[in-house]
């Protein structure tokens, strides 16, 4: 009883600390939010707060927000931000909204961590599960991650997607498929790519739900949940159409993500590739890139069927590398999920290299961007090289985590091999 209270108190203190830190950054450094909003590492064309304000202005003046060709975000952001007091006069409410969303994400993360799903899923129990971090630490790692803080201060709208995804996972872990499906529909509505998380999320829901109360038919379960997602998204689309008065938002939001028509540099791998691409091959390679992004879903879901949360984590990592408009916000979501696997950290082999590469690119990326855009002493290749290294660092982390999780599984089957080196033949 006491322990619970203490935990509660600690969590509240954590939330308070994170909120105060963010508020302090917002208020003590008034130039910082706008500086971060302008950074390509934080604001992509589909998440930028600046573009949101442009859309908001048009929306409030009864012009279609998509007319300027600047705003590429979901229409439902517009009434949400219109309800807040004007950003120009009272920015504090916007700040508070973003802080609240971050704290919501953290609370979802605590639920996921405390469920212990990472260490022992329905079909698999890791022998190392005792050595784990509590929800408090996982949430702290998320809330005080500089990437998360920068995203929050930069007011990128991807924080809403992050919160929706984390809540979907938390609900799935709690065995509440309905809420999980609604949450993932919201996430997909906001930024399209979370739709790819649906298969592993369904598996996770099914496993957890089945353990609580046996489900008679898998097939019915899958179909009804997919129908639910389709239904929720359809409702959201209808609301959007009602708000903007036409289906114009579809090509301007999802169309831009699918066709990469805005080639503003970002930390991903797509923009440079498609700047260089021959026009006649552009549509083909767009399809290749999207297929590449989605082809991992099936393979990973089948291979790590026994630990669906691992699949979700790895997919988030892959999306942070390979999605069309990635930002450090996607990386921060992935890095928030990684501490759940504290128990397999000893099995990872490249932790130092990964940490070094991520730090290296974190500092060199902005420097090279400055050299290219402002100083003019570098060119696009400088920045692109750094984004490649950034992708390399994240993919090393994804691979290493995959390896560690699979090794963990394998050692359960082959206990005599615990602690032995492996080699490829």
Partner 1 sequence: MSARRPLNNGATSAKSSPEATIPPTVRPETPSNDAADTTSARKQPPPEKPSDVRRRTYVILSFWLIVLLLGLPIWWETTTIYRANLPLSEMLDWADGKACRPVFPLRISIQANSLHEQEAQNLLRLTQHALDDLNDFSGHHLRLQLSPPAAKEAEKDDAGAALTIRLIPGESTTSTLDPYSPILDITYPPHTIPSATSSSSSLATYVASQLRATFAEEQAIISYLLSSDSMPSDHRPQGLTPEAADSLSKRTTRSLKHAPTYHLTFSLFTSGPLPSSWDIEAAIAEFMKPVLDVLSPIHNFTIDTQVQLYATPGVQNQVLTKEDLSSFINAAEWPLSPSIGGAPTVNFIVFVGNQTILAAPQGSPDETDRTSQSWLIPQWGTVYLLPLPSDTTHVSAEKLKQPLLTFTSHLLSLTGTPQSGSLPLRLSTLARIRSADLLLRASSTLGSLARLALALPSISIPESVADGVSKTMSHLRLACETLGGAEGLGHARIAEAEAERAFFEKSMVGQLYFPDEHKLAVYIPLLGPVGVPLLLGLLNEIKAWRKRRRERAEQQATKKKE
Which chain residues interact with partner 1 by CB under 8 A?
A: 278-281, 283-285, 287-288, 291-292, 294-295, 298-300, 302-303, 305, 399, 402-403, 406-407, 409-410, 413-414, 416-417, 420-425
Task: State the minimum distance, in angstroms, from the CB of residue 141 to partner 1.
Answer: 24
Question: Angle 75-77-82 (CA atoms, 0-180°, nearest 5)?
Answer: 110
Instruction: Considering the complex, state which of residue 206 and residue 322 has its C-beta at the smaller distance from partner 1.
Output: 322
Task: State the minimum distance, in angstroms, from the CB of residue 282 to partner 1.
Answer: 8
Task: State the minimum distance, in angstroms, from the CB of residue 205 to partner 1.
Answer: 20
Instruction: Considering the complex, state which of residue 61 and residue 420 has its C-beta at the smaller distance from partner 1.
Output: 420
Task: State the minimum distance, in angstroms, from the CB of residue 423 to partner 1.
Answer: 4
Instruction: Considering the complex, state which of residue 57 and residue 281 has its C-beta at the smaller distance from partner 1.
Output: 281
Nearest CA-CA partner of 320 in 336, 332, 304, 303: 332
Question: Angle 12-119-179 (CA atoms, 0-180°, nearest 5)?
Answer: 60
Distance, CA of 40 to CA of 186 (rounded, Å)? 25
Task: State the minimum distance, in angstroms, from the CB of residue 273 to partner 1.
Answer: 8
Task: State the minimum distance, in angstroms, from the CB of residue 199 to partner 1.
Answer: 10
Task: State the minimum distance, in angstroms, from the CB of residue 314 to partner 1.
Answer: 10
Instruction: Considering the complex, state which of residue 262 and residue 408 has its C-beta at the smaller distance from partner 1.
Output: 408
What are residue 28's phi and psi, to 5 degrees? -75, -30
Nearest CA-CA partner of 87 in 112, 56, 65, 124: 56
Distance, CA of 255 to CA of 242 (rounded, Å)? 19
Q: How many CA atoms lie within 13 A of 260 on its CB side?
A: 28
Instruction: Considering the complex, state which of residue 242 and residue 278 has its C-beta at the smaller distance from partner 1.
Output: 278
Instruction: Considering the complex, state which of residue 78 and residue 357 has its C-beta at the smaller distance from partner 1.
Output: 357
Residues 6+ apart with CB under 8 A from 256: 45, 46, 72, 262
Instruction: Considering the complex, state which of residue 134 and residue 259 has its C-beta at the smaller distance from partner 1.
Output: 259
Beta bridge partners of 125: 120
H or E segment to which residue 32 belongs: helix 32-37
Alpha helices by DSSP H, 128-263: 135-143, 146-153, 158-173, 177-191, 198-212, 218-244, 249-250, 256-259
Task: State the minimum distance, in angstroms, from the CB of residue 193 to partner 1.
Answer: 16
247-274 burial code (b ≥16 CB/10 A, e <16): ebbeebbbebbeebebeebbbbbbbbeb
Instruction: Considering the complex, state which of residue 135 and residue 199 has its C-beta at the smaller distance from partner 1.
Output: 199
């Amino acid at each position: 009883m006491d322990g619970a209270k203490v935990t509660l108190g600690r969590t509240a203190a954590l939330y308070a600390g994170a909120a105060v830190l963010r508020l302090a950054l917002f208020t003590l450094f008034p130039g910082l939010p706008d500086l971060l909003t302008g950074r390509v590492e934080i604001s992509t064309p589909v998440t930028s707060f600046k573009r949101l304000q442009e859309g908001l202005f048009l929306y409030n003046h009864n012009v279609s927000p998509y007319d300027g060709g600047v705003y590429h975000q979901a229409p439902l952001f517009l009434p949400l931000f219109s309800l807040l007091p004007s950003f120009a006069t009272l920015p504090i409410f916007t700040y508070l909204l973003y802080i609240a969303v971050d704290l919501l994400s953290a609370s979802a993360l605590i639920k996921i961590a405390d469920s212990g799903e990472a260490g022992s899923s329905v079909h698999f129990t890791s022998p190392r599960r005792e050595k784990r971090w509590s929800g408090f630490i996982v949430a702290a790692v998320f809330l005080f991650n500089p990437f998360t803080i920068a995203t929050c201060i930069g007011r990128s709208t991807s924080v809403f997607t992050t919160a929706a995804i984390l809540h979907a996972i938390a609900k799935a872990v709690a065995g509440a498929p309905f809420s999980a499906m609604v949450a993932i529909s919201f996430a997909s509505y906001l930024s399209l790519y979370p739709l790819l998380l649906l298969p592993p999320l369904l598996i996770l829901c099914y496993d957890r739900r089945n353990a609580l109360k046996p489900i008679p038919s898998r097939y019915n379960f899958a179909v009804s949940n997919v129908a639910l997602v389709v239904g929720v998204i359809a409702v959201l689309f209808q609301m959007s159409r009602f708000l903007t008065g036409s289906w114009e938002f579809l090509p301007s939001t999802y169309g831009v993500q699918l066709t990469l028509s805005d080639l503003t540099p970002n930390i991903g791998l797509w923009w440079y590739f498609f700047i260089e691409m021959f026009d006649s091959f552009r549509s083909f390679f767009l399809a290749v890139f999207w297929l590449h992004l989605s082809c991992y879903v099936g393979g990973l879901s089948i291979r790590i069927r026994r630990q669906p949360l691992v699949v979700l984590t790895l997919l988030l990592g892959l999306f942070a590398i390979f999605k069309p408009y990635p930002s450090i916000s996607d990386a921060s979501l992935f890095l928030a999920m990684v501490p759940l696997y504290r128990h397999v950290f000893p099995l990872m082999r490249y932790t130092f290299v990964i940490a070094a590469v991520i730090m290296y690119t974190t500092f060199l990326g902005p420097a090279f961007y400055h050299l290219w855009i402002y100083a003019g002493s570098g060119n696009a290749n400088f920045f692109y090289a750094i984004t490649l290294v950034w992708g390399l660092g994240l993919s090393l982390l994804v691979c290493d985590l995959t390896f560690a999780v699979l090794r963990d599984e394998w050692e359960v089957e082959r206990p005599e091999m615990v602690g032995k080196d492996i080699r490829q033949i």
